[in-house]
Amino acid sequence: MLPERKEAEALLAEAERCNPGPWGNHSRVAAVCGEKIAARCPGMDPEKAYVLGLLHDIGRKFGVKHLGHVYDGWHYMLELGYDKAARICLTHSFAVQDLEDYVGKKDIPEEAQEELRMALAKVVYDDYDRLIQLCDSISGPEGPVDMEERMADVKRRYGRYPQEKWEKHLELKRYFEEKTGRDLYEIVGKTMLRGSLHKVIKKEEGGHDKMSEVLQAIAKRSSTRGYTQEKLTKEELDTLIQAGLQAPTAANRQEIHITVVEGDNPILAELETDKNQGRGLADLPHNFYYEAPVVLFLSGDASFYWSKLDAGIAAENIALAAEGLGLGSLIIGCVKDALYGEKKDYYAKALKFPEGYEYEIAVALGRKAVTKEPHDYSAEKNVTYL
Ligand SMILES: Cc1cc2nc3c(=O)[nH]c(=O)nc-3n(C[C@H](O)[C@H](O)[C@H](O)COP(=O)(O)O)c2cc1C
């Protein structure tokens, strides 16, 4: 037995009132994903998938629990006579059919664990069990999310995520992609932003998804704060400058100017001193460009509304080109106060900014002496789909 859609929605709403939290919307997202995927799988019932998605976490009604929510949901649904939903409450966390694989606290007594263990072992998984396991792993409270991103997040929060479980989820993705003949994220309405691109790159290194060189550079770039003293070749420097000049500009004004400054130019030391003085800082172990062999200063027409944006775009073009050449880069804003202070005109002259131009941004460039992982980000937090 399974409740109708309306009743399932009412059950979820009531459960949310008892224990409010993002889990309610996570369940709704899982329901919609389940419905969409099932609609493309011959022989599957989208309505059933929707209801099962909606109720898989219903045990959270009874408080903030880990394994407890599996136990509570299973019993709650059995008490209401909804055995099919009860089964999903039981199986949704176990892509690997083993209670020991649970990531999170086993916050129920040993007898209850044994009860779950035995019940779980008896189930022969069908496509609805698999589908909701999959949907659980791609559903954030605001919409579908990247599966690997979500698993990585669980790993960060709980300190572990069994490899077998990770692989099982990827297998589930492949399973339903084969069944539907479509890319999973296409079906659930998420065509881009599959979490950190560098994770996709890692997959590629394992022989999976092909990525363009541009996407690889975007995914791999991170700020370099440590350089060797080896100079850039003329060809490298020209390529970087061209990348900056090839950036789009508002109304194609092409107003961004680039001043190339060698790392040992005394103007940089002077700027370092002024920056530190302005900020009340003593000498730092590194200067602001981390001893890079070259720093590009991008200046823009002070009277043009879009100069700052244009300079930002050019700076990122340069940074990506550097990554493409296997070089390091650091976008630098921290000298702004010094460059806009009482010595503004002096610096504009010393850095040979064109008349009426002012500093927008700088980019340090060189060979990496240190490496850093690209930063993590949250598409859930930073993206809204209308
Ligand atoms: C406009 C702008 C100004 C920045 N200024 C500095 C800076 O003055 N010094 C610095 O070490 N990093 C600076 N950064 C680098 C950021 O700290 C860095 O991009 C951010 O921490 C993310 O790390 P990632 O670049 O490694 O992905 C700046 C970045 C931008 C976009």
What integer is the mean pLDDT of 88-113?
94
pTM score of the predicted model: 0.55
Domain count within the chain: 2
| Domain's final residue, options 180, 195, 210 | 195
Residue finishing a domain among 144, 164, 195: 195
**Domain boundary, last residue among 165, 195, 225:** 195
Residue 140 sits in the same domain as residue 29 = yes
Average pLDDT over residues 9-15: 95
pLDDT at 146: 87
pLDDT > 90: percent of the chain: 75
What is the model's pLDDT at position 186? 87
pLDDT above 60: residue 255: yes
The single-letter DSSP state of residue 354 is P
Q: For residue 67, give its domain range.
A: 5-195
Mutate to test the pocket of ligand 1, among 222, 268, 332 (most ligand atoms within 8 A of CB): 332
Closest residue by Cα to atom 17, ligand 1, is 223
Angstrom distance (rounded) from CA 297 to CA 360: 8
CA 144 to chain centre: 13
The answer to whether 210 touches 204, Cβ cutoff 8 Å, is yes
B/e letters for 285-299, b = 16+ CB within 10 Å, e = fewer, are: eebbbbbbbbbbbbb
CATH code for position 155: 1.10.3210
Residue 380: pLDDT over 50: yes
9 and 127 belong to one structural domain:
yes
Question: Which residue's entry shows tokens 């605001």?
Answer: 142
Q: Which residues line ligand 1 (CB under 6 A)?
A: 222-223, 225, 330-334, 361, 372, 374-375
In degrees rounded to 5, what are phi and psi of residue 169?
Answer: -65, -40
pLDDT, tens only, 180-235: 999 998 898 753 333 434 443 444 444 334 567 898 899 899 999 999 999 999 99
**Locus of tokens 């590629």:** 204
Q: Please state, in angstroms and rounded to a whole number, the distance separating the CA atoms of residues 87 and 129.
A: 8
Q: Considering the domain boundaries, does residue 190 fall inside one?
A: yes
- Residues 137 and 144: their CA atoms lie apart, in Å, by 9
Angle formed by the axes of helices 127-136 and 23-39, to 10°?
130
Whether the CB-CB separation of 132 and 51 falls below 8 Å is answered with no
pLDDT of residue 383: 84
In the predicted model, what is the mean pLDDT of the chain? 91
Pseudo-torsion of CA 358, 361, 366, 367, nearest 10°? 180
Please check whether residues 188 and 241 belong to one and the same domain.
Answer: no
pLDDT at 203: 43
Q: What is the mean pLDDT of residues 75-80?
A: 97
Ligand 1 center to 356 CA (angstroms): 27
pLDDT digits (tens, 9 = 90+) for 282-294: 878 899 999 999 9
pLDDT by residue (tens digit) across 226-238? 999 999 999 999 9
What pLDDT, on the 0 to 100 scale, is given for residue 195? 40
Question: For ligand 1, what atom is nearest to the CA of residue 372?
Answer: 26
DSSP 170-239: HHHHHHHHHHHTS-HHHHTT--S--S-HHHHHHHHHTT-S---HHHHHHHH--B---B-SPPPPHHHHHH
Q: Which two tokens stand for residue 142?
A: 């605001």
173 lies in the same domain as 305:
no
DSSP state for residue 377 in the 8-state scheme: -
The CA distance from 373 to 87, in Å, is 41
What are 103-148's pLDDT values in tens digits? Answer: 889 999 999 999 999 999 999 999 999 999 999 999 988 788 888 8
pLDDT over 80 (residue 298): yes
What's the mean pLDDT in 56-71?
96
Q: Are residues 189 and 240 in the same domain?
A: no
Residue 368 DSSP class:
B
- Domain check: are 65 and 152 in the same one? yes
Indicate left, alpha or beta for 239 from its phi (over 0: left) and psi (-120 to 50: alpha): alpha
Structural domain contains residue 266: yes
Give the length of the chain: 386
Helix (H, G, I), strand (E, B) or coil at 295: strand
Q: List, for residues 26-48, the tens digit of each pLDDT value.
A: 999 899 999 999 999 999 999 99
Q: Is 149 exposed, middle or buried (0-12, 13-18, 19+ CB in 10 A)?
A: buried
Q: Is residue 219 part of a domain?
A: no
Would 381 be classed as within a structural domain?
no
Look at residue 65 and tell me if it is in a domain: yes
Closest ligand 1 atom, CA of 361?
Answer: 1
Residue 248 domain flag? yes
